[in-house]
Structure 1
Amino acid sequence: MSARVLNGAATGARMDLSIPRAAGDLLDAPLAVASDPASIDPVLEDLLTFHPGWITRSVTTHDPAGGNDDGYRAGVALEGDHRVLFHARGEGRITRIWMTAMRPELDKPDQELWIEIDGHTVFRGSPHDFFEGRDSWRSPLALGVDASSGAFTSYVPFAWSREAKIRFRGVPIYYQVTYREGPGAASGPTPEELARFMVEDWTAALPRRSQRQGPGPGAPLVLATGPATVAGLDLRIPGGSLKDLAVRIGEQPPVPASFFFGLASMGTEDDGGWTTFRSALHAAWAPDAAGAGRLATRLPIPLADGEALSLEAAGGAAIPDIEAAVALAPARAGARLLTQYRDQAAPGRETTMTLFEESDAPLQFVALFEHLSGGRLGDRLYLEGDEMIRTDRMSYPLQIGTGTEDYFNGGFYFIGAHSNPFSGQLRFIVHDPEDSWRDARFEHSLYRLHVADPVVSRSGMRFGMEAGPTGAYAPLRVRSLGLSYAFSDHRVIGEQKVRPRGRRRGALSAIDAERTAPRRRFRHREGRGITRIEVECPHDARGLLLLRAYSAARAPQTARVRLDGREVGVLHEMLANPVRPLAEDALWIDLLPGERGGDRRPVLEIDATGSPAPWSEIGYTLRFFSGPPAPELTQGPAVKIFDAAGLPGGPFYVNDHSIVQRPDGRWILTGIFHNEPYRPELEREFVLATAPGPGPARWIEAASPSFSLAPEPIAVRALADERWIWAPHVVKDRDGSLVMVFHVGTPDPDRSGFRMARSRDGITWTRQGGTLFEDVCVARDPMLVRLGDLWVIYYTRCASRESPRSGVAYRTSPDLVRWSPPAMALTLAPETAMPNSGHTESPFVFEREGWFYLSFTSYPVDNDATFVHRSRSPFAFPPRPIARLRAHAAEWVAEGGDLRKGRLFFTHAGAGKGGVFLQELFGL
């Protein structure tokens, strides 16, 4: 028997993701454990935090009849000469775009891709320009047909607060848009953070290995014991021993090390040997002259107290001379990594094979590795099989694919072997390739990493894949490893079934998934009214999953959802399926203390009065979840970090301010600056002070001012048309420069302006453009942040001229130039009404472990009254705070600069304070 083995990196990729042998030289230094606690990349930290608000979904060209007639069909609308491929409302984030067609179709010159976020165009042009890196996004965020082995693939994160739409002129034939929606779904890494994570050589940070006796029969080699999190693992093993090596986490069944480390080798004689590669999570080096190969991973592995990560030898073998190194990070309570390895034969009937299944645990699915072999001679139709991912005990899969190679980001059975950060085909083996592959059998080693697009479920998951066009392909051997993080903090504690009354229509449908799913009769009602449900909420429930069963015969269907009058989300379905109309969707709702338990039943309203197509209802399921309580926040002692009172010509005061760290490590402080006493109408300068690294923890330890005036102590001065300037806020832009937004005073309090300045070094500032926008109620105190590729600006503003209740508004922008209309992230009670929204001054929003926190100062309550609110969504905060701090105009800063993790601090200042103070916050 002969075989043709095709291994290698992606042809035509814009970077080399393989690892040169020199970079993988095996060290002779004397199992090693890193002496200092290892850090986990922020992108991976996000996977270790459960996100119950994310409903993860896809819109694809899956055959609506459940067969293999996948292909382009009309979307929600035809708009001019563009068809709508994707349309979503509410909050969300596009995590992946994939599309392909026959090469002549792809190369037609008049095709146009049009991506619109919150009403603004973020891309409009040639698909080749978008996917091949000729616009704003480069490889590996966007990959062309050669690099992605037969398809266009994008992992550019497009977040939205209200609405997103993708149009296409031409015929893409096959496409998939994977996305998430619901509270908090817009959050996640920026394009720059994601690109850095994808391309960096993370293997260089692994600890050195040392010699260890390998595992033998009944004698596992323990690599680490909890409580801890394995942040990195590096092994050197004899090349021929990989087939006998297994990895075990705790009491779970062992899984083959070849799969756990990314399918570097299958360990068989005719598999072509080891492949040298590096993905975003795994790496391997082919055996060296001494016959030793190297494997590495940076996939975090949380270990509970007493739980072990170990290596085992299969089948009574012994594996000597293993070198190992482990990097350990602090333990992650409540999180664990589930490993499910399966070795199965295709069933030979029209169904899906289960590749991963968990009955009811909250999950975030993060990776699938699959090796396919043993098909029919000269036949690769097994690659036509579609994935179907069911979450939350639903019959209807919210992710339905168009082919196995499509799921793995390729097209048309792949161009060949390739390796990309999040997907690849490391091995394509052709056995007996003579006679134009007519008598050939094939093997594929495939991986897809759901780092940027984890599949979230609150109550169990089933990941199935068809073998072939309808699942009936045989024979075929399928070996797979599915990886998912499970979380113990959220559990189902009750359920309520609701069947709305009213006139109903009858229909007949199977579920749009399994080919042979039987058709069943269902009855549904349609209309454009408001459905009201009295919620029977357990007293200890902290979250509610709303599940709707409906008819998708007509679309689009849209409804706003409210709980006791509080806006909690949007349900929007863009695609119609009159062939198999039975469908389901979901929305997560966090419950406030007054909405759970007791005699009063909160009222849930599904408001479809504005739905374009009639709203359809078969019934609703309300599933209630327990969860951790709100944190208890305390603040440490205050330390003055900048002395304004003692400056020459003083005393001065600093009010609303901002702190940011430059790339060289030095810190910049700027803020409102004026002589005492307090005269806000005369504040026309922003002070500029600097401090060396490393940051806030050392400033606390120093117990004395760390900031001093810069050589040029004024960053920005008011212009002649600016009555005053207030509240500068500084953040890093995409290119590494610094951007400052600030308020400018105007004669009309309902036309308050916001302007911008820029700096490369934080010292020299240049104004850019004119007024960004104007707003009412002395709108002021801007704060700028990025969610994915979306800029969001928060600021103090009343609800409206007619209802001057204090609140926090926000606007979004794709480019810091075009801004959306205002919307309210928070509106307080009627007693907070005042002309200048004084109860919500100095807003600041940051994310922490799956929650967003909003702080602001309420000076009518007290000059030092700062309230903290929290929400799963950055765009809707409940009016009840979780804490009150002693601070004025608080700004937040973290050790290391990333507010999502590490020790957390806040600064505060104000007239009569004498400078800027720093305190540590405990409890988050």
Structure 2
Amino acid sequence: MHAGSHNVRAAGARLDLFVSRAIRHLLGASLAIAPGAASIAPVLEDLLSFHPGWITRSVTTHDPAGGNDDGYRPGIAREGDHQVLFHARGEGRITRIWMTAPRAELDKPDQELWIEIDGRTAFRGSPHDFFEGRGPWRSPLALGVEASSGAFTSYVPFAWSSEAKVRFRGVPVYYQITHREGPGAASGPTPEQLERFMAEDWTATLPAPSPREALRPGAPLLLAAGPATVAGLDIRIPAGSLRDLAVRIGGQPPVPASFFFGLASTGTEVDGGWTTFRSALHAAWAPDGAGAGRLATRLPIPLAEGEALALEAAPGAAIAGIEAAVDLAPARPGVRLLAQYRDQTAPGRETTMPLVESDEPLQLVALIEQIRGGRPDDRTYLEGDEMIRTDGMSYPLQIGTGTEDYFNGGFYFLGPHSNAFSGQLRFLVDNPEDGGRGARFSHSLYRLHVADPIVSRSGLRFGMEAGPTGAYTPLRVRSLGLSYAFPEYRVLGEQPIPVRGEGRRAHSAVDAERSSPRRLMLSREGRGITRIEVECPPEARGLLLLRAYSAAKAPQTARVRLDGRDVGTIHEMQANPVRSFAEDALWIDLPPGQCGAGRRPALEIDATSSPAPWSEGGYTLRFFSGPPAPQLRQGPAVEIFDTEGLPGGPFYVNDHSMIQLPDGRWMLTGIFNPEPYRPDTERAFVLATAPGPGPARWVDATSPSFALAPERFSTHALADERWIWAPHVVRDRDGSLVMIFHVGTPDPDRSGFRIARSRDGRVWARHGKTLFEDICVARDPMLVRLGDLWVVYYTRCASRELRLSGVAYRTSLDLAHWSPPAMALTLGPETAMHNSGHTESPFVFARGGWFYLTVTSYPVHEDATFVYRSRSPFAFPPRPIARLRAHAAEWVAEGGGFGAGRLFFTHAGAGKGGVFLQELFGL
């Protein structure tokens, strides 16, 4: 491939020149191109932002000696009559669970799957119930053996803040648990959001196609030009012409359209038949009566200025007619789609065939593969394992148990099938006669990493073995890898940290290909603190901590601190005494000013509490640039709820919350009291409503949007509640509404929190008693869901002894049982006070790969709202990135999600006369 790189670049340059000259004349002249206002599903929108903190990994039953002797062996722990399949500490998220075994083994009685998150049971019961839809989750999130073609598969997201375990009673013969860890790893869609995305018929909203266009060699059909994002693409083509059609993105080499649209048809002479299917990203329809097939995708395709999306005909071929339609969304700067196509034969030695290789920061979102040409009556090429290496590591952080296992099947699949994130669209048998002794097979496969993108900050090598050890031959493999690349992140340099002093010497291969050579490894073991003086360049905005170590003993755990602040946990759960050389990684953000000007941050790796001795074979600190910090600007304030002129007034609204109801109306509730300000008499929450469509229209309104509802109040204080403050309303799993609020008590160090529920937003009923109590007049709760995990943030000081202002959080799976408190933000000694007044009204939301926390600091000014940001929702550096003019800010985004679209905040308070809305620019 390297030999042709100059020709590839030249071809790309010629196309760019052609586009720049012709685009004004051709683009849109005969295609149905929608205006640039199309929406991108929030699940996909999240992929267009880089998540460098996600270390994507898997724990599997692969052969630790590098061969094909896959299967369960004790490698983590045993607790009573349960095997521990998975154990993680720090922040993280399980994105996929896959299991299989011979059918008789799967059906054994008394097997039990037990998933525990932050010390609470998320599921405990029969594996059949969990995967076959008789538990809390159903298809397409959880799939049984028939649906997933030979295996159990789950994409139920399990996020945690501190710890997660998966136990199994019985013998889990083969399993894979893919997950991510590190800052921000808990974030992502809830099960309901993911299920809706996987199941919806997204093809129903594609634009109507254009009149038919002929396509000739050397004359691309231009579909869209940047700056823009293609949010949907729909084409119709004569069925027999698909083999001659290619898709080109910008200056990249063209890729076969059959692969780009998910392999509904390979477009070859031998097996050019079509398959009708719809996955979460691709769709196809078999040819109609006129002989035209249809293909579609909703994979977002960002195009920069001067880039184009085009269809091309193969040299010497002409396509009589193509109908195409493009749905355009606003441009997404700083991201581009990489389409890497390969056509290769198995190398015939014990190694992996490269399917995706890149040196760029990227997130892999799809692999589409066709396999054919094996030996007669032999499908052992499906025994090949995937090995995914990131960031230049020799050790694959993801290593599988078989090709069909990677594609979510088992035992060579049960046949053709199609699911939201994986499938075998076509399984063809050539020469099936004579009992199949001469049969050869062809597989058309896809795996979409939408819920579990593979993240790499400085390069990715995705390889797949051909056969049990990689040496199977002959075999032809054609593949397309689709990734999002983020060029704003680049490596600035490295700081190697070698092991010094006495250490243990061992010869070991890497746990990977069977042919991996043994190497000399010097490692130091202990349970102390390793201190490193970081020599980072002033422009560094991120640090990747890479550790080489011996995995002969486990578990190994260390807390990592930078300048005394916790920045993450490294926890290695699995031992491999056979091939002990291993590597791991942790991403650490570096705020502006952390490096340069003679500063040398202090990095500490604290393994004093590690269960097994902490192993150190050496560290590498890799420094990265990144996009500049955002410059925030707030638009003019618009009053959306006037409380000054209400009968009996004037009144004020303070800490408040609003949400859109199922019928499209918006509901607002909050502290409501007569002027002047008397917090000790605040005993009711107002109820106001406004018609849709929402904040984007309200900012242009000439009169207030909200009006007092006939019910007037959502909640009143009970007799044992001195006051009630700061309601926050969210939607529960079943679509009902949940309100959490603060309850005043005589003891300021025993402030309480309670909840109320409603089906319609009008009638509210208390639910249960006090959830928990906390110190420093703990108040102003805010609820959010990460995966299936509830997180509540609230104002609280650091401790009884150290009353620094801060924001605490707790986690729950059921809104009834809560974890102990932990601090998401702790400010400096100048903020010490009895009630944590510098961190009132916390609100947390995710946007563009970051979490943002806003708080109001009334000792600074009544309208002083500070903005903090972090990769993790559980740890915010105490240095704000901006100050806004607002009191008790609440946030809302256009379209309901914070991933994209216009961003707004509301604010209120005593003496304000109502509730106001402003747009925020810069995020």
TM-score if structure 2 supplies the norm length?
A: 0.96
Residues in 1 aligned to 2:42 and 2:215: alpha-carbon distance in whole angstroms:
33
SS of residue in 1 equivalent to 2:139: coil
Q: Is contact 1:184–1:873 with CA below 8 Å preserved after alignment?
A: yes
Q: Report the equivalent of 2:150.
A: 150
- Could you report, residue by residue, the CA deviation over 1:4-50 in whole angstroms, capped at 9, with x for unpaired residues? xxxxxxxxxxxxxxxxxxxxxxxxx9821114521111111111111
Q: Report the equivalent of 2:271.
A: 271
Q: Report the equivalent of 1:230.
A: 230
* Residue identity opposite 1:89 in structure 2: R
- Could you report, residue by residue, the CA deviation over 1:63-89 in whole angstroms, capped at 9, with x for unpaired residues? 000000010011421000001100111
Q: Report the equivalent of 1:539.
A: 538
**How many equivalent residue pairs?**
895
Q: Report the equivalent of 1:561.
A: 560
Structural mapping, 1:15-164, within 5 Å: 31-35=31-35, 37-164=37-164
Is 593-602 or 554-563 further displaced after alignment? 593-602
Q: Report the equivalent of 2:584.
A: 585
Residues in 1 aligned to 2:349 and 2:493: alpha-carbon distance in whole angstroms:
37
- Could you report, residue by residue, the CA deviation over 1:224-254 in whole angstroms, capped at 9, with x for unpaired residues? 1111111111110000011111111111111
Residues in 1 aligned to 2:275 and 2:738: alpha-carbon distance in whole angstroms:
45
User: Equivalent pairs: percent with the same residue?
Assistant: 81
- Could you report, residue by residue, the CA deviation over 1:625-662 in whole angstroms, capped at 9, with x for unpaired residues? 00112111111121111111211111111111001111
Structural mapping, 1:426-825, within 5 Å: 426-825=425-824
Structural mapping, 1:349-428, within 5 Å: 349-358=349-358, 360-428=359-427
SS of residue in 2 equivalent to 1:325: strand
* Residue identity opposite 1:334 in structure 2: G
Alpha-carbon offset, residue 379 of structure 1: 0.5
SS of residue in 1 equivalent to 2:811: strand
Q: Report the equivalent of 1:316.
A: 316
Is 862-871 or 897-906 further displaced after alignment? 897-906
SS of residue in 1 equivalent to 2:700: helix
Residues in 2 aligned to 1:676 and 1:923: alpha-carbon distance in whole angstroms:
35
Q: Is contact 2:75–2:576 with CA below 8 Å preserved after alignment?
A: no
Q: Is contact 1:149–1:414 with CA below 8 Å preserved after alignment?
A: yes
- Give 4+ residue runs of structure 1 displaced > 6 Å after superposition: none
Q: Report the equivalent of 1:13.
A: none
1:830 aligns with 2:844: no
Alpha-carbon offset, residue 704 of structure 1: 2.4
Residues in 2 aligned to 1:225 and 1:842: alpha-carbon distance in whole angstroms:
44
- Could you report, residue by residue, the CA deviation over 1:497-531 in whole angstroms, capped at 9, with x for unpaired residues? 00132210101111111110110111110000000
SS of residue in 2 equivalent to 1:649: coil
Q: Report the equivalent of 2:23.
A: none
Residues in 2 aligned to 1:30 and 1:521: alpha-carbon distance in whole angstroms:
64
Residues in 2 aligned to 1:594 and 1:290: alpha-carbon distance in whole angstroms:
65
- Could you report, residue by residue, the CA deviation over 1:467-510 in whole angstroms, capped at 9, with x for unpaired residues? 00000001111111111111111000111000132210101111
Residues in 2 aligned to 1:114 and 1:436: alpha-carbon distance in whole angstroms:
44
Residues in 2 aligned to 1:579 and 1:905: alpha-carbon distance in whole angstroms:
56
Residues in 1 aligned to 2:624 and 2:722: alpha-carbon distance in whole angstroms:
52
Residues in 1 aligned to 2:467 and 2:243: alpha-carbon distance in whole angstroms:
28
1:244 aligns with 2:237: no
Q: Is contact 2:416–2:425 with CA below 8 Å preserved after alignment?
A: yes
1:199 aligns with 2:199: yes
Structural mapping, 1:865-904, within 5 Å: 865-904=864-903
Residues in 2 aligned to 1:267 and 1:832: alpha-carbon distance in whole angstroms:
67
SS of residue in 1 equivalent to 2:500: coil
SS of residue in 2 equivalent to 1:99: strand
Q: Is contact 1:689–1:707 with CA below 8 Å preserved after alignment?
A: yes
* Residue identity opposite 2:167 in structure 1: R
Residues in 1 aligned to 2:769 and 2:713: alpha-carbon distance in whole angstroms:
20
Q: Report the equivalent of 2:19.
A: none
Residues in 1 aligned to 2:711 and 2:735: alpha-carbon distance in whole angstroms:
22
Structural mapping, 1:247-266, within 5 Å: 247-266=247-266
Q: Report the equivalent of 1:23.
A: none
Residues in 1 aligned to 2:228 and 2:863: alpha-carbon distance in whole angstroms:
40
Is 231-240 or 207-216 further displaced after alignment? 207-216
* Residue identity opposite 1:760 in structure 2: R
Alpha-carbon offset, residue 272 of structure 1: 6.3
Q: Is contact 2:191–2:787 with CA below 8 Å preserved after alignment?
A: yes
SS of residue in 2 equivalent to 1:302: strand
Structural mapping, 1:846-865, within 5 Å: 846-865=845-864
Residues in 2 aligned to 1:855 and 1:267: alpha-carbon distance in whole angstroms:
54
Q: Is contact 1:272–1:429 with CA below 8 Å preserved after alignment?
A: no
Q: Is contact 2:36–2:228 with CA below 8 Å preserved after alignment?
A: no
Residues in 2 aligned to 1:707 and 1:344: alpha-carbon distance in whole angstroms:
63
Alpha-carbon offset, residue 598 of structure 1: 1.6
* Residue identity opposite 1:746 in structure 2: T
Q: Report the equivalent of 1:921.
A: 920
Q: Is contact 1:75–1:86 with CA below 8 Å preserved after alignment?
A: no
Unaligned stretches of 5+ residues in structure 2: 1-28
Q: Report the equivalent of 2:4.
A: none
Residues in 2 aligned to 1:162 and 1:495: alpha-carbon distance in whole angstroms:
30
TM-score if structure 1 supplies the norm length?
A: 0.96
Q: Report the equivalent of 2:175.
A: 175
Residues in 2 aligned to 1:915 and 1:255: alpha-carbon distance in whole angstroms:
57
* Residue identity opposite 2:37 in structure 1: P
Residues in 2 aligned to 1:887 and 1:247: alpha-carbon distance in whole angstroms:
49
Q: Report the equivalent of 2:12.
A: none
Residues in 1 aligned to 2:406 and 2:59: alpha-carbon distance in whole angstroms:
13
Alpha-carbon offset, residue 738 of structure 1: 0.8
SS of residue in 2 equivalent to 1:456: strand
Q: Is contact 1:75–1:83 with CA below 8 Å preserved after alignment?
A: no
* Residue identity opposite 1:563 in structure 2: L
- Could you report, residue by residue, the CA deviation over 1:779-812 in whole angstroms, capped at 9, with x for unpaired residues? 1100000111111000000111011111000001
* Residue identity opposite 2:482 in structure 1: L
Residues in 1 aligned to 2:664 and 2:30: alpha-carbon distance in whole angstroms:
35
Is 272-281 or 869-878 further displaced after alignment? 272-281
Q: Report the equivalent of 2:216.
A: 216
* Residue identity opposite 2:846 in structure 1: E
